[in-house]
A = this chain, B = another copy of it.
Amino acid sequence: MPKLTPRPFFSAVDGFKSSKDTPSAFLERCLATFDELEPQVLAFVHSDKERARKDAAAATARWREGKPLSPIDGMPVGVKDIIETQDMPTEMGSALYKGYRSNRDAASVTALREAGAVILGKTVTTEFATQPPGPTRNPWDPRRTPGGSSSGSAAAAGSGMVPAGLGTQVLGSILRPASFCGCVGFKPSLGAINRGGSHDALSQSVHGALAASIEDAWVVLREIADRAGGDPGYSGLIGPAAPPAAQQPRRLAVLETPGWAKASAGAKAAFAAAIETLAQADVKLLRRGDNAAVARAETALERALPVSQQVNTWESRWPINAYRARDPSKLTQFALDRLADAERMNLAQYRERLAERAQIRAIYAALAAECDATITLSATGPAPLGLESTGDPIFVVAGSCLGVPAISLPLLSVEDLPVGLQLLGFLDEDARLIATARWVRDRLARG
């Protein structure tokens, strides 16, 4: 097993201010890891080290002059290859888009550049950010999946090649690979980050970060939102520019979700130990057995996966039908099957699922009166062996179905492999979730 060191940027900024460190030196440390691990991990579809060095040098000059463009000026970032970039192809994990160039930066990438971030490259996505895996391997064990669909960004952040990667999640595509690769995965509230120029236009899809730390995840998304806003018509990520200070939650609702029945004994034990530590610090834990609102939420969330899948299927009819019209031989059987499923659905059935989703959301929202956040596992266990599947999204689909902010923290370990501890918040209360997550992390670090 390799020794993996996440590489936070947020905590390096003090060094840039005092000139003890520079973005160029930071980048070189990232590139050393990249050169060592990337041949096995295959996190990137495309990378441009020379442009990154040039951009880092410019950032270095700005920090030296005391005029950084933002707190992420000089931050090396990987961009999931479902998101358009002007200077690199956007291949979407699809043979149909091999070598495709849109000749424009997506809204989030434009914002990253305005903030001075250094785009190291495009990271591997599964086909169209759905299931069929790309080549990426888990950096902790190359025989294991990195998870998906944000496979490359998770592997790159988990192994210290970059402090942050952009990801997208419509089912479990940020938190699942974060759990498997040992990095933070933060999916903000629905609509929090402008998806313009990204090919993940489904109603549950959200842009988020795979990052070395909670703080890195917050600042990179916050700086994007400041410049690009959220999706049109949405508030954009709400909260202060600096990561919200750690704050102890008074009450956490423990959610088992349908994942509990599938979780490994080791994962359950690690989770139990973690929440016991929190309970000893006077955090009151609410459970389905003793709280009616929690019980109602658990029941409602039993439908999160099938409802999400059907919503996603209908919403995928286009563009897959347009892709099939162009060249069906360049689509995987998964894409063709999904399209066939979509074509068996009708608009009335879709509306029924939307209504059901709205009901699930309302039931969960009632928990806000009971607790500061909810807590559960991010996955049934460590990354499974094999590369043919990106793993089970059963624990993370809740956040996507609900549209609430969700974060996976690399705080559990099972068989020497990372497993994420998941916290879910309430719609547009992303800052409060971050404050809770920082406290939980610090508390568990003390043991």
Give Cα A380 to B360, complex, Å.
47
Please name all residues of chain B whose beta carbon is closer than 8 Å to the beta carbon of A319 when the two chains form the complex: 104, 107, 196-197
> How far does the alpha carbon of A253 sit from the alpha carbon of B104 in the complex, in Å?
46
Chain A, interface SS category: helix
Are B236 and A347 interface neighbours, CB within 8 A?
Answer: yes
Q: Across the interface, do B110 and A321 meet the contact criterion of CB distance under 8 Å?
A: yes
Determine whether the beta carbon of A86 is less than 8 Å from that of B228: no
| Partner of A196 from B194, B201, B314, B323 at Cβ < 8 Å | B201
The contact of A103 among B201, B229, B317, B326, by CB within 8 Å, is B326
Identify which of residues 222-262 in chain A touch chain B, using a CB-to-CB cut-off of 8 Å: 225-229, 232-233, 235-236
**Listed residue (A194, A203, A229) with the most chain B CB atoms within 10 angstroms of its CB:** A229
List A residues at the B interface (Cβ < 8 Å): 86, 103-107, 110-111, 114, 194, 196-197, 201-203, 225-229, 232-233, 235-236, 314-315, 317-319, 321-323, 325-326, 346-347, 350-351, 354
Given contacts A325-B86, A325-B110, contact A350 B229 (CB under 8 A): yes
Instruction: Provide 18 A-B residue pairs closer than 8 Å at the C-beta atoms, listed in order of the A residue.
Output: A86-B326, A104-B319, A104-B323, A107-B319, A107-B322, A110-B318, A110-B321, A110-B325, A197-B319, A197-B322, A203-B233, A228-B318, A229-B314, A229-B315, A229-B317, A236-B347, A236-B350, A236-B351
Please give me the residue from chain B that is nearest to A315 by CB atom. Answer: B232
Residue of B nearest to A318 (CB): B107
Contact B201 A318 (CB under 8 A): no
Q: How long is the Cα–Cα vector from A350 to B225 in the complex, in angstroms?
A: 12
Which residues does chain B contribute within 8 Å of A196, judged by CB atoms?
201, 318-319
Collect the chain B residues with CB atoms within 8 Å of residue A114's CB.
Answer: 321
* In the complex, the 8 A-B pairs of residues with the closest C-beta atoms, listed nearest first: A203-B233, A203-B232, A107-B318, A104-B322, A232-B315, A105-B322, A196-B318, A236-B347
From B197, B201, B226, contact of A347 by CB (8 A) = B226
Residues on B with beta carbons closer than 8 Å to the beta carbon of A347 = 225-226, 229, 236
Q: In the complex, A422 Cα to B177 Cα: how many Å?
A: 52
CA distance A284 to B228 in the complex (A): 47
- In angstroms, how far is the closest chain B Cβ from the Cβ of A327? 10
Chain B residues, CB < 8 A from A235: 351, 354
Give every chain B residue within 8 A of A202 (Cβ-Cβ): 232
Taking the closest CB of chain B, its distance from the CB of A341, in whole angstroms, is: 15
Tell me the minimal C-beta distance from A70 to chain B in angstroms. Answer: 14
Given A110-B325, A229-B347, A350-B229: A318 and B236 within 8 A (CB)?
A: no
Among A86, A107, A225, the one with the most B-chain Cβ atoms within 10 Å of its Cβ is A107
Q: B residues within 8 A CB of A315?
A: 229, 232
- The smallest beta-carbon distance between A199 and chain B, in angstroms, is 10
Nearest B residue to A327 by beta-carbon distance? B103
Instruction: Give A107's nearest chain B residue, CB to CB.
Output: B318
Contacts of A194 in B (CB 8 A): 318
- Bound together, the chains give a CA A360 to CA B107 distance in angstroms of 29
Cα A111 to Cα B354 with chains together (Å) = 21
Instruction: State the Cβ distance, A100 to closest chain B Cβ, in Å.
Output: 9
Shortest Cβ gap from A401 to chain B (Å): 12
Q: A232 CA to B342 CA in the complex, in Å?
A: 14
In the assembled complex, the CB of A317 is this many whole angstroms from the nearest CB of chain B, namely: 7
When chains A and B are docked, how far (Å) is the Cα of A235 from the Cα of B233?
17
